[in-house]
Chains A and B, each alone.
Chain A
């Protein structure tokens, strides 16, 4: 039922933005992307695009940031014991997971929206191409959708938030270095590793190319990890 999903998501969003951590992390994120933004423009022939900063913002920040957003979501329920109430309420496990996921997505988009300032600056001081700019953002968001699902699975695995964050980070690092690994091998293995890499699917988005394959990849990752999260919750019932 949609109502349950919304109720769960709203509760998480409120409690996230109700804690000072949200603002510390938010400020850190905006500061860091701001640094990348200035750094990307501090070249001899700066290009009015978001590519330079979004590129690094995604690859360097997201593997850490996404698990930080999601670490609390299911770990805390286990620690407080509230999972017992949630799982005995007439709420489906999938509704719990979707509610939490939507909350993480809203938190992510909310914080990401602060980078709009950089885009406005580009429009004020330059003449950026709109399409690549939009597609870069779409790519960032798609990456976020996938990374947050990974983080959510990690959060379902332990009552300890730190453990959840580290596990989420670990999985994302593996998905990132898979691209490096692809360069070390050849043949089918290289193709598979390249296809599996979470950042290799970002390149087209940053170049202004929207391809169904890249969308498909991120959505598939999200679907798989959300499914695993639901199974992970279900499996608690069997322990």
Chain B
């Protein structure tokens, strides 16, 4: 696997304010990387550095081996970029705009003619080809923005909050589109919508106040960061007996009843060993029915909250 994007100790100062500090990561060919963080975390700053819009105060960034500051044109040739603000020329029609952007991206005219209808279809813009961008809704503008980013079939795609402003049905389609772009393209996208990142991305970098607080796959993030394991169990037995029985099991820290389902329990246990075995044994011993037993993953939302709050506390 070749490394397509390399960020090496990226730091950006805005005057005295530190936008991002010592950010390191690399993205392999075909990988989809998510930058996750609350407002002002430094996601856009990172992306603006990667795309060569502004240089880092220190550190280097490489796009397929080309340094974004010293070999800027070569690096930029390989990038498709959707800025956060979705900049569009409002006095142009959709196809005029895409043609213009394609030309500036160095696409040969013949290639552009062939590719334009494809991209218009991919982005669901067929009905709006001849519309002036000024008359498009926010969501459609977003699609035109994505269209110009993927038009020239770049090796590297950098999308700053690509699904913002799109209606829920289209969000699903857009995520599928992004997902389908991975493999062939190398993607970096930013978001503060956690389920989105866990759905779309192979790997997640969580940024907070300009620093990386965690890097991992969405699945690992939820397992690693859990301080206790949580298991939901549906048990067919007298609830006044089940509760104390569960509490007695070695390792169990807490048991809650589910308010919706009288037979369901949420069990929190220490991390050593899989508590599910002991629970199953205990239930069977008592002769109750074990209807369901599964571990509950911590959602990225919870992890995120946890990470950012511990980060704050330690300061």
Contact = CB atoms under 8 A, between A and B. Distances in A.
B92 interface: yes
Nearest to B160: A84
A4 B85 CA distance: 24
A191 interface: no
A238 interface: yes
Given A85-B148, A239-B54, A7 B104 contact: yes
B91 A15 contact: yes
Contact of B79 (A83, A84, A88): A88
Contacts of B55: 237-238
A19 B90 CA distance: 12
Contact of B90 (A8, A80, A92, A236): A80
A7 B103 contact: yes
A78 to B, nearest CB: 10
B195 interface: no
A15 B88 CA distance: 13
Given A84-B83, A237-B54, A90 B106 contact: yes
A81 B83 contact: yes
Contacts of A83: 87
Nearest to B50: A88
Given A237-B53, A237-B54, A88 B76 contact: yes
A90 B105 contact: yes
B89 interface: yes
Q: How large is the interface on B (under 10, 10 to 19, 20 to 34, 35 or more residues)?
A: 20 to 34
A95 to B, nearest CB: 9
Nearest to A99: B104
A24 B103 CA distance: 31
B219 to A, nearest CB: 33
B101 interface: yes
A178 to B, nearest CB: 37
B53 A87 contact: yes
A202 to B, nearest CB: 35
A88 B73 contact: no
Interface in A212-239: 236-239
A44 interface: no
A19 B87 contact: no
B253 interface: no
Most buried by A among B90, B100, B104: B104
Contacts of A11: 89, 92, 100
B104 A82 contact: no
A82 B89 contact: yes
Given A4-B103, A84-B85, 11 more contacts: A1-B106, A15-B89, A15-B92, A81-B85, A82-B87, A85-B101, A88-B81, A88-B83, A89-B104, A236-B54, A237-B55
12 contacts: A11-B92, A11-B100, A80-B89, A81-B83, A81-B87, A82-B89, A85-B81, A86-B104, A89-B105, A90-B106, A92-B73, A239-B54
| 7 smallest beta-carbon distances between A and B, as pairs | A81-B87, A82-B87, A81-B85, A90-B77, A88-B51, A90-B76, A89-B104
